[in-house]
């Protein structure tokens, strides 16, 4: 008798739970649809608003005591390069990072970040061997340590502070998700030999570039985006252009200057640039994503992988969702 009375009660309870679960699922589905709709509506609006903006220059300005708002209004939002003179000199790295420091502390460390500029291949060598090359190596070689992997030596991060100007939207990503999908902030510790050069290029995926001079002077050339059709996709040597082979380069109006130790160079998205070391040099390069190049970065990523690009855009639009997705192992 008691079992017979219990059966309808259980049926009612299961029915109630099904209604509750179904309601929760429906609400979650509607919320997800609303978020996705908002994201794609914002993307449509941003495609019309956030096009490439750049400001032509005849020389590069050097600024100190620059506030973040001034940087945004006078440089970042209008695509204009600038050198900030009073940031890097306050870093520990400005005095600590010398060729002798890396030779002594990391001499047995092997790196595959050395590029042979003569043939474009990467080679593996110890830091001690690379330092020997800088001082006494074959002058016919053109080896460039373009990326000493700092993530393998996190103690180096303590020697500098990320300037307020280098705001990076990728910082909102959970670290595990960042590493899994390659959304990491690009940080390069670059050590180069006197008279060596990194060829003419723009930074990948429309990111904006920062270059901090730590040790030794660099000579640089910047070329604005509107002159892209004249640079032959970076094949031309901007410091010694062969106008017979690259005649259109005669139309370029490059801006040339010297970056000295203690200075921080801001390179807006899509600006072509080439660097030559006037001395043995150490520099720190960073590529970032912010409000002014975010849409360009997503568009550029879409050409390589539309799925990953939309994940990138969606998580940048809703940072909290990355943590939820990661916690539930949905990606």
pLDDT of residue 186: 72
Question: pLDDT tens digits for 257-305?
Answer: 999 999 999 999 999 999 999 999 999 999 988 878 887 887 787 777 7
Contact 228, 272 (CB under 8 A): yes
Residue 27 in this model has a pLDDT that exceeds 90: no
> What is the C-alpha separation between 298 and 309, in angstroms, rounded?
6
pLDDT tens string 63-85: 999 999 999 999 998 999 999 99
Tell me, letter by letter, the H, E, C secondary structure of 80-139: CCEEECCCHHHCCHHHHCCHHHHHHHHCCCEEEEEEECCCCEEEEEEHHHHHHHHHHCCC
Domain 52-173+183-295, CATH class in plain words: mainly beta
DSSP designation for 73: H
- Minimum mean pLDDT range among 92-106, 168-182, 290-304: 168-182
Tell me which range, 29-38, 115-124, 159-168, 258-267, is most confidently predicted by mean pLDDT: 258-267
Cross-strand bridge partners of residue 192:
144, 281
- The mean pLDDT of 113-139, rounded to a whole number, is 86
Among 35-44, 104-113, 300-309, the minimum mean pLDDT is found in 35-44
| pLDDT score recorded for residue 227 | 96
Q: What is the pLDDT of residue 174?
A: 61
| Span between the terminal Cα atoms of the chain, in Å | 51
- pLDDT at residue 130, rounded to an integer: 94
**Euclidean distance between CA atoms 59 and 295, whole angstroms:** 28
Task: List all residues 6 or more positions away from 117 whose beta carbon is below 8 Å from its beta carbon.
Answer: 142, 143, 144, 196, 197, 199
Domain boundaries, the chain: 52-173+183-295
Mean pLDDT value of segment 174-199: 74
Show Cβ contacts of residue 159 under 8 Å, excluding neighbours closer than 6 positions. Answer: 91, 92, 93, 96, 97
Mean pLDDT of the chain: 84
91 confidence band (pLDDT: 50, 70, 90): very high
The 10 Å Cβ neighbour count of residue 82 is 22
Q: What angle do CA 172, 155, 106 make, to 5 degrees?
A: 135
- Three-class DSSP labels, 163-179: CHHHCCHHHHCCHHHHH
The larger pLDDT score, comparing residue 15 to residue 265, is at: 265
At residue 102, the pLDDT reads 96
Residue 304, SS3 per DSSP: helix
pLDDT grade for 1, boundaries at 50, 70 and 90: very low
User: Edge-to-edge strands of the sheet including 218-223?
Assistant: 197-201, 272-277, 218-223, 255-259
23 vs 262 pLDDT, higher one: 262
- In this prediction, residues 190-217 reach a mean pLDDT of 92
Phi, psi of 197 (to 5 degrees): -145, 145
Residue 226 and residue 24: Cα distance in Å, rounded? Answer: 52
Do strands 82-84 and 62-63 pair parallel, antiparallel, or not at all (unpaired)? parallel
């Amino acid at each position: 008798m008691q079992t017979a009375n219990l059966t309808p009660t259980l049926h009612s309870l299961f029915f109630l739970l099904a209604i509750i679960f179904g309601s929760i699922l429906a609400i979650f589905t509607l919320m997800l649809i609303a978020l996705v709709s908002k994201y794609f509506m914002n993307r449509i609006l941003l495609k019309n608003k956030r096009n490439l903006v750049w400001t032509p220059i005849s020389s590069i300005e050097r600024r100190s005591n620059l506030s973040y708002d001034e940087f945004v209004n006078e440089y970042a939002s209008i695509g204009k390069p600038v050198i900030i003179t009073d940031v890097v000199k306050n870093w520990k790295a400005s005095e600590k990072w010398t060729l002798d420091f890396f030779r002594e502390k990391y001499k047995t460390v092997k790196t595959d970040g050395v590029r042979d500029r003569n043939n474009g291949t990467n080679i593996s060598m110890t830091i001690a061997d690379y330092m020997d090359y800088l001082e006494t190596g074959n002058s016919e070689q053109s080896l460039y340590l373009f990326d000493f992997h700092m993530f393998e030596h996190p103690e180096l991060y303590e020697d500098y502070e990320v300037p307020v100007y280098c705001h990076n939207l990728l910082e909102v990503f959970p670290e595990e998700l960042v590493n899994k999908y390659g959304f990491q902030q690009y940080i390069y510790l670059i050590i180069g030999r006197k008279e060596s050069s990194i060829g003419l290029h723009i930074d990948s995926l429309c990111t904006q570039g920062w270059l901090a001079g730590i040790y030794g002077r660099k000579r640089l050339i910047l070329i604005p985006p509107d002159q892209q059709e004249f640079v032959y996709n970076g094949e031309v040597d901007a410091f010694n252009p062969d106008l017979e082979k690259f005649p259109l380069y005669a139309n370029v109006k490059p801006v040339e200057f010297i970056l000295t130790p203690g200075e921080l160079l801001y390179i807006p998205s899509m600006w072509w640039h080439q660097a030559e070391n006037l001395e043995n040099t150490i520099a720190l390069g960073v590529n970032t994503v912010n409000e002014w190049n975010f849409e360009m970065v997503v568009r550029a990523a879409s050409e390589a992988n539309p799925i990953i690009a939309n994940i990138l855009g969606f998580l940048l639009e809703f940072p909290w969702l990355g943590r939820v997705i990661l916690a539930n192992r949905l990606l």
